[in-house]
Amino acid sequence: MSDWKPKRFWKAATPVPCDGGHTVQLDGRPVKTPAKAALVVPTLAMAEAIAAEWDAQTTLVDPRTMPVTRGANAAIDKVRTQREEVITLLAEYGDSDLLCYRAEGPDGLIERQAGAWDPVLEWAAEALDVRLSVGVGVMHVTQDPAALARLTSELATLDDFALAAAHDLISITGSLILALAVTRAARPPEEIWLLSRIDEHWQIEQWGADDEGSANEMIKRAAFLDAARFYRLALA
C-alpha cells in the first residue's frame, strides 16, 4: 500500500440528499469514489458517518481511519460492478463454514466448540431453514445442495452496501453462518466475534499470547466490528 496521503483541502464535510439517496460534499463539492463514481449511499445515517470521517481528518487524509468511507467505496466500485461474482464467492463459504469443522481433541476444545457453535447452527436451521452437516478434522464435509442454495438466496436479498459488509464479515470469520447471524441481529456483533475465535483463544489459554498474534487479532476485531456497523448504517 502506498504511503501517499492527500492533504486536507476542505473546511467542512456535509451530508446532503441527492438522486438515489445521500452524498457527502466537501465545501459544496461532491465526494467521488476512487473509481470516480458518485458517492451515493442509501441512508442519511451512512452519509453522516462518512461526513464525520472526512471532518475528522487533519493535515493529511488517512483512509485507515475512514472505515465507512472505505465500505461505501467498495460497495460502489467493486460489489456493484461484479455483484453476481461476489455472491457466488461468498456463498462458497457455506460449503466450508468454520462452524462445521470440529477438533479431534482435546476434550475441552471439543466441548467448547460444541457449546458455542451448535446453538448457532440450530439458529440457522430455524431462522434460515438451513441445516449444515458437521465433521471432525479437516476433511471436506459435504453439504446439502438445497441448504447451500438457500444461503445463496439469502445473500442475494442484500443490496450492494449490505453485501459489501457481509463480504468482510464472512472473510474475516470464515463463516457465512456467523455473518448472517450479524445481519439477522441474532446476537450482538461482539459476541459473534468471540464465537469466531474459539480455536485461537483455546490455543492462547494453553500456550499464552504473543505480541504479533494479539496485534493481528485487534486489527481483525476492529475490521469485523466496522463491518457490522457498516451493515447497520446501510439499513438505518
Question: In this structure, are residues 131 and 123 in contact, taking their beta carbons and an 8 Å threshold?
Answer: no
At 111 the pLDDT is 98
**82-235 in CATH: which number?**
1.10.3580.10
Partners of residue 175 on adjacent β-strands: none
Q: In angstroms, rounded to a whole number, what is the distance separating the alpha carbons of residues 196 and 189?
A: 11
At 99 the pLDDT is 98
- Give yes or no on whether 13-65 and 82-235 have one common fold: no
At 48 the pLDDT is 98
At 59 the pLDDT is 87
- Our CA angle for 172, 56, 159, nearest 5°, is 45
DSSP state of 141: P
Using a 10 angstrom Cβ sphere, with 0-12 exposed, 13-18 middle and 19 or more buried, the burial of residue 15 is buried
At 5 the pLDDT is 64
At 155 the pLDDT is 98
At 3 the pLDDT is 52
At 128 the pLDDT is 97
Q: Which residues of the chain have pLDDT under 50?
A: 1-2
At 89 the pLDDT is 97
At 2 the pLDDT is 46
Question: In this structure, are residues 99 and 178 in contact, taking their beta carbons and an 8 Å threshold?
Answer: yes
| H/E element, 138 | none
The tens digit of pLDDT for each residue in 171-202 reads 999 999 999 999 999 999 999 999 999 999 99
At 1 the pLDDT is 39
At 117 the pLDDT is 98
- From the CA atom positions of the chain, what is the Rg in Å? 20
Distance of alpha carbon 83 from the chain centroid: 16
At 236 the pLDDT is 86
Instruction: Give domain limits for the chain.
Output: 13-65, 82-235
**Is domain 13-65 classified as CATH 2.70.98.10?**
no
DSSP state of 101: E
